Amino acid sequence: MSRRPNSEQRRAQIVAALLSTMAEHGYEKATIQLIARQAGLAPGLLHYHFKTKVEILVELVTTLAELSRARYEGLAAGALTAEQRLLAYITARLGTGEGADGHAVAAWVVIGAEAVRQPEVRRVYQEAVGAELVLIESLLAGCMGEQGRRLGQVPFLAAALLAFMEGAFQLASAAPGVMPSGFAAGTAAQLVQRYIAAEAPA
């Protein structure tokens, strides 16, 4: 009988423990011992599933990307138009309420910093960001096409929206309370809608 499902469950448990430990101690101080304690496992079990802490962090990038995509798909399930799907995406990424996870946002900011320093993290981070950009471009193209607008600027608007989100994540994590509460989702939606409305007809 295969032990794979149990192994996958343990790996997910360890990744979740790193997320919780990072939220409390930061990545540098999130030792294997602290992660193991958070997971309720012996440190040796962590090394059985992951050779290094960086490997756990790399797995966390994939996990966060999957959770983020799942939240978007849940919010977009009832969307009837391309614009509704785009707004569902913005809400999924920047909105508060059900499904929002401050720990995940803080972890994503830490991952971005570690991507600058560690090639293994940079590779998977760039893949996740690249996939995100493709999704944003698709949503924008659908919305702009639906409204009869030219699509030539879609890559630039997609990059601007992604940069806005990353900046909002950084501020929410590093300077909580400085920015107006709940500003990000509504502001991003307004900016995108105004840009699309100002774009030349196709």
Same domain flag for 33 and 59: no
Alpha carbon distance 39, 53 (integer Å): 14
> Which is nearest to 101 in space by CA: 66, 136, 55, 53?
66
Does residue 60 contact residue 30 with C-beta atoms inside 8 Å? no
Same domain flag for 21 and 108: no
Same domain flag for 33 and 121: no
Q: Tell me which residue has tokens 């983020």.
A: 68
Same domain flag for 146 and 187: yes
CATH number of the CATH domain containing 23: 1.10.10.60
pLDDT tens per residue across span 73-104? 999 999 999 999 999 999 999 998 888 998 99
Same domain flag for 101 and 2: no
Same domain flag for 111 and 192: yes
- Per-residue pLDDT, 1: 43
Alpha carbon distance 71, 89 (integer Å): 9
Number of compact structural domains in the chain: 2
pLDDT tens per residue across span 6-32? 788 999 999 999 999 998 888 999 999
Same domain flag for 100 and 138: yes
From residue 111, alpha-carbon distances to 52, 105, 190 in Å are 15, 10, 28
Q: Tell me which residue has tokens 């969307």.
A: 79
pTM: 0.91
Alpha carbon distance 91, 85 (integer Å): 10
Domain, as residue range, for 146: 53-198
- Per-residue pLDDT, 73: 96
Four-point Cα dihedral 136, 166, 79, 190, nearest 10: -100
